[in-house]
Amino acid sequence: MSDIVEALADIVGPAAVSSGDAINDDYTHDEALTATAQRPLAVVRPASTADVARIVELAAATGVALTARGSGTGLSGACIPVDGGVVVSFERMNEILEIDLDNHVAVVQPGVTLDQLDQALKPHDLVYPVFPGESSASLGGNVATNAGGMRAVKYGVTRHQVLGLEAVLGHGEVIRTGGKFVKATTGYDLTQIIVGSEGTLALVTEAIVRLYPRPAHAATVLAPFASLEGVTGAVPKIVASGIGPLLVEYIDFITMDAIRNNYGVEVGVDPAVKAQALAYLVVVLEDRREDRLEENTEELANLLAGLGALDVYVLPSTAGAKLIEAREKAFWMAKAAGANDILDMVVPRASIPQYMAAVADLAQASGSLVVGCGHAGDGNVHLSVFQNDADVRHDLIHDVFAAGMSLGGAISGEHGIGTEKKAYVAELEDPAKLALMRRIKAAFDPHGILNPGTIFDASEDSP
């Protein structure tokens, strides 16, 4: 047993450290399609913030890399360890420490899952509104990737819900940031720089998140359009109406067929309409009052009819829920279909048609297939790339990202950069910003032990 493994066992007890063949394969990968699994030197399962601080102190003293891990449901390789490194798994720090009904916040440990939190909030008629599509995901992982999901159009994303953190810096110092309030200007916002930093700046040991009243009633409206422009042109009108949709999604006809075939979702679209429909808009409304929901649904249906929808369907609640659930599983459909990579670029939502046209041209020119659907309300476009040749694929994806960036977009809307998109970041991002990010990392993690090689490599020379 190596000195490191022994020292880890001294901190957390031997039962909470695995090494060598005792390491379960699950710890060697996440759900990224392109990543290579990597066995770590050890997996350590701390039970407390004090444990985490001692683990970081040990790593800082020995130069061992630490990779934080929640549920391992990430899509960018950010929780894959480095060779010789240690996985810090937060599975034992999985307690909801507080549901504070007076301040409408929850205080959670990083290993708490979205489903666990949701179950605990239901009896209080409250909701934590981030639903990235995988309810087994951990809050710690959500904080690390700034998880998004379909409800961003109403509630924003993880960073809008995280009010404070407890986190361990790269020398093992424990800090607390923010608090149970939305308002603070007391020095730099350390909470927000840690959210979305994919484990490279600090290890999060506690988070204070916002809670909202849980609306009792929801309705799903489906509107087929003859073109993607029809869908995206409708979105600003829906937002401007003040109806306040919970989610606004577009689904292309290929994905809609896949949902029908794979999930047996029958949405009852007339065959004559279906033949013309190239793009579907799905809008979910919610309200605390059923009468208002009905009025809003009718108003929305009329609005969509006036905006060129081929037809408008108000789905029965079970069909609506099934459609959304199936839409959330788009990743699994892409994986099952043999996609080589998945992208989740974000562009200004009004630029989606222009972006998709550019993507189609690039796909054709490279002899590849690129299909997808996306969050029409927030400009986040999910694409599945089918191209077996790695070099051709890399060049295609480079160009697809470049096309979106020229429209003012960013490489990832919610999956993060991890290890799997960092080459594109190195190729396409402003070097001044990358250099600034490296200096910020050094400010948090002077020894470079926290998830090295994620988002960017330590040196400017390596990709």
Of 262, 437, 448, 457, the residue at the interface with a copy of itself (CB under 8 A) is: 437
Site for a copy of itself contains 92 (CB under 8 A)? no
Least distance from C-beta 273 to a copy of itself, angstroms? 26
Site for a copy of itself contains 181 (CB under 8 A)? yes
Say how far apart CA 394 and CA 441 lie, in whole Å: 27
Stretch that binds a copy of itself, among 90-98, 177-185, 253-261, 269-277 (CB under 8 A): 177-185
Q: Are 389 and 329 in contact (CB under 8 A)?
A: no
Which positions from 145 through 174 interact with a copy of itself, judged by CB under 8 A?
145-146, 148, 152-153, 156-157, 159-160, 169, 173-174
Residue closer to a copy of itself (CB basis): 327 or 415: 415
Residue closer to a copy of itself (CB basis): 15 or 240: 240
Least distance from C-beta 41 to a copy of itself, angstroms? 28
Which positions from 397 through 416 interact with a copy of itself, judged by CB under 8 A?
408-416
Q: Are 54 and 7 in contact (CB under 8 A)?
A: no
Cβ neighbours, 10 Å, residue 421: 27
How far, in Å, are 24, 372, 438, 460 from residue 152 at the CA level? 35, 19, 29, 34
Least distance from C-beta 95 to a copy of itself, angstroms? 19
Stretch that binds a copy of itself, among 26-34, 63-71, 143-151, 390-398 (CB under 8 A): 143-151
Site for a copy of itself contains 203 (CB under 8 A)? no
Of 196, 230, 245, 372, the residue at the interface with a copy of itself (CB under 8 A) is: 196
How far, in Å, are 34, 233, 414 from residue 149 at the CA level? 22, 21, 7
Q: In sequence order, which residues have a C-beta less than 8 Å from that of residue 351 and are 6 or more positions away?
A: 379, 407, 408, 409
Residue 96, beta-bridge partner list:
108
Residue closer to a copy of itself (CB basis): 40 or 149: 149
Stretch that binds a copy of itself, among 110-118, 141-149, 304-312, 333-341 (CB under 8 A): 141-149
Residue closer to a copy of itself (CB basis): 128 or 313: 128
**If you write DSSP's letter for every residue of 356-415 in order, what string do you get?**
HHHHHHHHHHTT-EEEEEEETTTTEEEEEEE---HHHHHHHHHHHHHHHHHTT-BS-SSS
The type of residue at 411 is I
Residue in 162, 385, 150, 172 with CA at minimum distance from that of residue 286: 150
Strands annotated E in 12-124 = 17-19, 42-44, 66-69, 86-89, 96-100, 105-108
Residue closer to a copy of itself (CB basis): 311 or 378: 378
40: three-class secondary structure by DSSP: coil
Site for a copy of itself contains 308 (CB under 8 A)? no
Residue closer to a copy of itself (CB basis): 313 or 355: 355
Which positions from 101 through 120 interact with a copy of itself, judged by CB under 8 A?
101-104
Tokens linked to 131? 């639903």
Residue with tokens 């759900």: 31
Which positions from 267 through 296 interact with a copy of itself, judged by CB under 8 A?
288, 292
Q: Are 139 and 209 in contact (CB under 8 A)?
A: yes
Of 67, 177, 297, 387, the residue at the interface with a copy of itself (CB under 8 A) is: 177
Burial of 8-40, coded b for 16+ CB within 10 Å and e otherwise, reads bbebbeeebbbbeeebeeebbbbbbbbbeebbb
Number of residues this chain uses to bind a copy of itself (CB under 8 A): 85
Least distance from C-beta 212 to a copy of itself, angstroms? 9
Site map for a copy of itself, 359-398, x if CB under 8 A?
----------------x--xxx------------------
Least distance from C-beta 85 to a copy of itself, angstroms? 21
Q: Are 45 and 91 in contact (CB under 8 A)?
A: yes
Stretch that binds a copy of itself, among 1-9, 270-278, 307-315, 424-432 (CB under 8 A): 424-432
Least distance from C-beta 152 to a copy of itself, angstroms? 5
